[in-house]
Amino acid sequence: MPSKVRIIGGTPLQGKIRISGAKNAALPLMTASLLTDKPLTLSNVPNLADINSMAELLTQFGVSISSDKVEQVYTFKAETIQSTLAPYDIVNKMRASILVLGPLVARCGQAKVSLPGGCAIGTRPVDIHLKGLRDLGAEIEISEGYIIARAPSGLVGTSITMPLISVTGTENLMMAACLAKGETRLINAAREPEVIDLANCLIGMGAQIQGAGTDTITIQGVDSLNEHTHQVIPDRIETGTYAMASIITGGSLELTHTSLELIQSLSGVLHQAGIELQATENGIFVPAPSETIQGIDIMTEPFPGFATDLQAQVMALMAVCNGASMITETIFENRFMHVPELCRMGANITVHGASALVRGVKNLNGAPVMATDLRASVCLVLAALAARGETTISRVYHLDRGYERVEDKLRNCGATIERIDTI
């Protein structure tokens, strides 16, 4: 049933929010289970629609999955792989499904994975994944919307220079290289914490990987990987989102089960805007702003730069800043779909190419708005929490893809927020 979220804004958030495990770490970790016939156990797995979609896809390959959703622990066992087909109807729902390609080809010597196609925030090609697999010796053809990859005699390590920094591209190739013959060097690799988390898990499974977290990752292929248990890192995007929710409402929050280290770039931006995040024993304290935050210029970049997945949220914050802010999006070409919706709530934002000029206004006002993608939907939640009056956000299924129990977490801190089912 389609649902909407209704928010009455204006209450400063107060209290504690427990940060969940990172969706973008959990998804590649789940696909790493395809690399071995032994069990892989993951803890701190968030309960999200994308996790369920990935579990559905893995089940279709014959992976047996047992889970304790309360404890958030999953065990995956890919003892035999019965199918190497990733169909369009699942891949289309979630682009991260492409992460099964590398592990399937490495383990089974073949895979047929639907091309993900475009999505709301841009065209998002997968050429880097395909070029890297070709470099490792796979034959790849595209037929009827599917990637058909074959490497009957196995993959062979080599040096791969990625023309652009790609997070899932790096993860896919790192996983594939674990079972390739000889040494693989991934040059111009992504340095995101989720890449490091995946490398740490693979190392725990017996892979030989060096350099994760730098721009060159070296992998010595091994014959097989072993049983392992791994804890998913905290979600840095959820962490940053709630930090900004706190600030935009003029509240103060303690974020637990996370760390300031994970959001250094956001913390630097907030420092310039006049907010000093503080590290606590188990997370972060977000103090109440003593005055209106200052407008500052922000540019999205690959890690350790400012995350594109926090761009929409920081724009909501800057919409009520003192002065103006220029926000430049360098990762995705169409990631300003939240702008017209924010403007419907009274924001003053104009887009010039890849930059948005945000002139701060004193107040936002509640309005009916529509979510267009995952991060845009949460940006509207932030704006609504700060706005005067009532906001209803439609198409909130986007929210469920990446934010666990968002209404509960916010309601527990004083927000007036509820989900309403519509027919």
Closest distance to ligand UD1 from the beta carbon of 302 (Å): 7
Q: What angle do CA 406, 411, 415 make, to 5 degrees?
A: 110
Written as six digits, the tokens of 115 are 């091309």
129 is a contact residue toward ligand UD1 (CB under 6 A): yes
x-marked contacts with ligand UD1 along 147-186 as a string, rule CB under 6 A: -----------------x-xxxx-----------------
Beta bridge partners of 355: 328, 352
Q: Is 69 helix (H, G, I), strand (E, B) or coil?
A: coil
Closest distance to ligand UD1 from the beta carbon of 139 (Å): 18
Element (H, E) at 348: strand 348-352
Contact, 306 vs 298, CB < 8 A? yes
| Ranges within 32-91 binding ligand UD1 (CB under 6 A) | none
Closer to ligand UD1 by Cβ: residue 196 or 321? 196
377 is a contact residue toward ligand UD1 (CB under 6 A): no
Closer to ligand UD1 by Cβ: residue 193 or 289? 193
Distance separating alpha carbons of residues 189 and 195, to the nearest angstrom = 9
Phi, psi (5° rounding) for residue 23? -55, -45
| Ranges within 221-250 binding ligand UD1 (CB under 6 A) | none
Closest distance to ligand UD1 from the beta carbon of 410 (Å): 22
Can you tell me which of 2, 118, 122, 304 binds ligand UD1, judged by CB under 6 A? 122
125 is a contact residue toward ligand UD1 (CB under 6 A): yes
Matching residue, tokens 């990762």? 331
Beta bridge partners of 132: none
Closest distance to ligand UD1 from the beta carbon of 158 (Å): 18
Stretch that binds ligand UD1, among 8-16, 121-129, 150-158, 285-293 (CB under 6 A): 121-129
x-marked contacts with ligand UD1 along 186-205 as a string, rule CB under 6 A: --------x-----------
Distance separating alpha carbons of residues 254 and 413, to the nearest angstrom = 10
DSSP per-residue letters across 90-132? HHTT-GGGGGGHHHHHHHHSEEEEE----BTTB----HHHHHH
Distance separating alpha carbons of residues 79 and 35, to the nearest angstrom = 10
Closer to ligand UD1 by Cβ: residue 11 or 166? 166
Can you tell me which of 74, 332, 336, 403 binds ligand UD1, judged by CB under 6 A? 332
Closest distance to ligand UD1 from the beta carbon of 56 (Å): 16
336 is a contact residue toward ligand UD1 (CB under 6 A): no
Contact, 315 vs 338, CB < 8 A? yes
Max Cα–Cα distance, the chain, nearest Å: 64
Choose the catalytic residue: 108, 119, 343, 379: 119
Q: Is 119 a catalytic residue?
A: yes
CA distances from 392 to 31, 376, 380, 418 (A): 36, 14, 9, 10
User: What is the four-CA torsion angle of 39, 45, 49, 51, rounded to 10 degrees?
Assistant: -30
Closest distance to ligand UD1 from the beta carbon of 126 (Å): 4
| Residue 19 burial (CB count, 10 A) | 28
372 is a contact residue toward ligand UD1 (CB under 6 A): no
27 is a contact residue toward ligand UD1 (CB under 6 A): yes
Closer to ligand UD1 by Cβ: residue 120 or 324? 120
Closest distance to ligand UD1 from the beta carbon of 92 (Å): 14
376 is a contact residue toward ligand UD1 (CB under 6 A): no
Intra-chain end-to-end CA distance of the chain, in Å: 7
Closer to ligand UD1 by Cβ: residue 136 or 275? 136
Q: What angle do CA 296, 233, 100 make, to 5 degrees?
A: 105
Closest distance to ligand UD1 from the beta carbon of 113 (Å): 13
Positions marked catalytic:
119
What is the binding site for ligand UD1 (CB under 6 A)? 24, 27, 95-96, 122, 124-129, 164, 166-169, 194, 308-309, 331-332
